[in-house]
Amino acid sequence: MTDRRLPFFVYGTLLPGERNHRLLAGRTRSWTPAVLPGALIFRGPGYPFAVADPAGAGVVHGEVVDIAEAMYDAVLADLDRLEDYTPGDPANRYERVSRAVRGERGQTEAWVYLAGPVTTRDLLPSADRIPGGDWRNRDKLTGGGTGL
């Protein structure tokens, strides 16, 4: 696994009320609204993915989730499985990376799942950018295939 026990920045289907939130429900210590600067969020075939913004101006809205210590390894394994992430695998759909995020408590480092090379290559050209960087606004899309 990892010896770095960072919180997670979640921005899509893991948010409260979304379909994969059950993986975190009852296993966390706190949820804090936060933003991931320098990134953009897109909707692929039914799920979100974030990428670094080449212009550096984008922002993705989400929440920083502190995991209960006794549950950390199990949650990490569940999230890696959900995001189809295996360390060092070039076929990863997502990459788990540490990034600085800003929340109401200031800046903190958190694990974030960003689109891996396969997702970027296969889905980004036809993906829809989410307005305002907030997955909860996905129903306000203005057109298809806005990729980078």
Superfamily of the domain at 8-137: Gamma-glutamyl cyclotransferase-like (3.10.490.10)
**Domain residues of the chain, as ranges?**
8-137
- pTM (predicted TM-score): 0.90
pLDDT of 61-79, one tens digit each? 999 999 999 999 999 999 9
CA-to-CA separations, 8 to 11, 21, 40, 91, 142, in angstroms, rounded: 10, 13, 17, 22, 30
pLDDT of 83-122, one tens digit each? 999 999 999 999 999 999 999 889 999 999 999 999 999 9
Strands ordered across the beta sheet of 39-43: 48-52, 39-43, 128-129
Say which residue, 44 or 2, is predicted with more confidence.
Answer: 44
